[in-house]
Amino acid sequence: MGIASENEEFATRAIHAGYNPLEYGYAAVPPIYASAAFDLENAVRGDALAGGLIDGFEYSRVANPTVDVLEKRLAALEGGIGAVAVGSGMAAVSYALMCTGEGGGRIIAPSNLYGASVDALGDFLPQFGIHTDFVKSINDLSEVESRIGPDTRAIFAETVANPSTELLDIEPLAQLAHSHGIALIVDNTVPTPYLLRPIEFGADIVVHSTTKGITGHGNAIGGAIIDAGKFDWANGRFPQFTTQQQVISDDRNNEWHSFASKYGNAAFIKRIRIKYLRTFGAVASPFNAYLSLIGLESLPQRVSQQVASAQHIAQHLSRAAHVMKVNYSGLGYTPQYELVGKYFPRGVGQILSFLVDGSADNVRRIIDGTKLFSYVPNIGDARSLIVDPAHITHREVPAEARIAAGVSDNLIRLSIGLENVNDLIADLDQAIAHAY
Ligand code: PLP
């Protein structure tokens, strides 16, 4: 399928996938099911539902009809077999990493990740017995391979790093991971499935902060985990998937199951729902799921315009006074231009960052001097946003890792929204001119 027809098909799925109005009282728009629990109808049906013999809704901590539509739509857009929506992007990252590393596993990751993910991997998950081997370059296959040991469970990376926009070379990394029986988990928040679908290149698990481009209007925190359904969790490295578990077994009939034996290639996403969502409970609210569904309807149109504007602004800034460097892999001449051609035919996204000369005072004056850009620690909004990552979004990253990820004190990140691009450029120009 050519890019043009793929685009059209994606746009159709963004509006219709996972929803049949006939099953929801003919409502044209997926309704908000603000109900904590659902009628089990009668004892026989109740028993069958609770035993997992039939599909249906019981309690909104585990599944809810509005959230279910979002999950089905995200799975369809990413090309996965199933998804679980959760209360935030960090819940998605934490659940995916814990579900993989559970019981003493190790993760391989770069340090150019979102700040809270670096903190989780480097500082917090070790408290739960899950440790990380950080690598200098996640695209350096020999460095990555040298860190794979008997306890390694997964490689984790962002497909487009924030704020450097460094790109992940997914395909060879997935091949390397699979040749060792370990999984590739990617955070696809920055590009969104409109620009990149990592499962098509071999990723096993995709996580999102739906707070960003997917919801697209800065009005709802949310996250999602999508399962490609291709990884063999019973390959011997993941005892949590092959151990029999009460919650999915039937002790009255002496029928015992592990997640792998009961759910096969859906073992991961089932464990996320039945163990992680059910136990830790970072559930997506039906209202937030509704907002994400509305946002998804215009994802292709929003992201295309934002990418075009980001490209324009990156080019403009690379010629601007006081700008020392622009980080935007979509510039056409960056060292990663081959990866752009392979993975990002529609562009690399709406995030860019730039390094200015002068002191911290100049940086502050640029940020305070913009009139259209909101000073906000978020990305992927319809509004354009500006932030100083070293002080805000990456504050918890240790200095060494921050420098390695290019997050210096003079770096400014932009998330380009839907305003007129000439107005945005004029705003940046006047803010920079007045800051020196
Ligand atoms: N992953 C990436 C790449 C992010 O940029 C963020 C948030 O900025 C997150 C995960 C966490 O998402 P949330 O804020 O929805 O928890």
User: Around Cβ 333, how many Cβ atoms within 10 Å?
Assistant: 6
**Predicted confidence (pLDDT) per residue in 205-215, tens digit:** 999 999 999 99
On average, the pLDDT of the chain sits at 95
- pLDDT tens string 183-240: 999 999 999 999 999 999 999 999 999 999 999 999 999 999 999 999 999 999 999 9
Assess if CATH 3.40.920.10 describes domain 298-435: no
281 pLDDT higher than 80 = yes
Q: Ligand 1 center to residue 114 CA distance, Å?
A: 7
The Cα–Cα gap between 372 and 6 comes to 34
| Ligand 1 contact, 415 CB (< 6 A) | no
Q: What residue's CA is closest to ligand 1, atom 13? A: 89
How wide is the angle at C-alpha 188 spanned by C-alphas 408 and 85, nearest 5°? 120
- Residue of 160, 185, 189 with the most ligand 1 atoms within 8 Å of its CB, for mutation: 189
CATH number of 3-294: 3.40.640.10
Q: Is the CB–ligand 1 distance for residue 88 below 6 Å?
A: yes
Task: Between 312 and 2, name the one with better pLDDT.
Answer: 312
Looking at residue 154, its pLDDT comes to 98
Task: Please give the average per-residue pLDDT across 393-405, as a whole number.
Answer: 81
pLDDT digits (tens, 9 = 90+) for 43-63: 999 999 988 889 999 999 999
- For the chain, the structural domain boundaries read 3-294, 298-435
How much of the chain is in helix, strand and coil states, percent to nearest 5? Answer: 45, 15, 40
Probe target for ligand 1 pocket from 97, 162, 190, 209, with the most ligand atoms within 8 Å of CB:
209
Helices 299-317/421-435 angle, 10° precision:
40
Please determine, for residue 1, whether its predicted confidence score (pLDDT) is greater than 50. no
| 3-294 and 298-435 agree in CATH topology | no
Q: What is the pTM of this model?
A: 0.96
- Where residue 402 falls among pLDDT bands split at 50, 70, 90? confident
- pLDDT, residue 396, reads 77
- Please name the residue that has the structure tokens 């569904």: 293
Which mutation among 119, 187, 211, 291 tests ligand 1's pocket best, with the greatest number of atoms within 8 A of CB? 211
Scanning the structure block, which residue is given the tokens 């989780």? 120
What are the two backbone dihedrals, phi and then psi, of residue 299, each rounded to the nearest 5 degrees? -55, -50
User: Ligand 1 in contact with 223 (CB < 6 A)?
Assistant: yes
CA of 20 to the centre of ligand 1 (A): 30
pLDDT single digits (tens) 61-112:
999 999 999 999 999 999 999 999 999 999 999 999 999 999 999 999 999 9
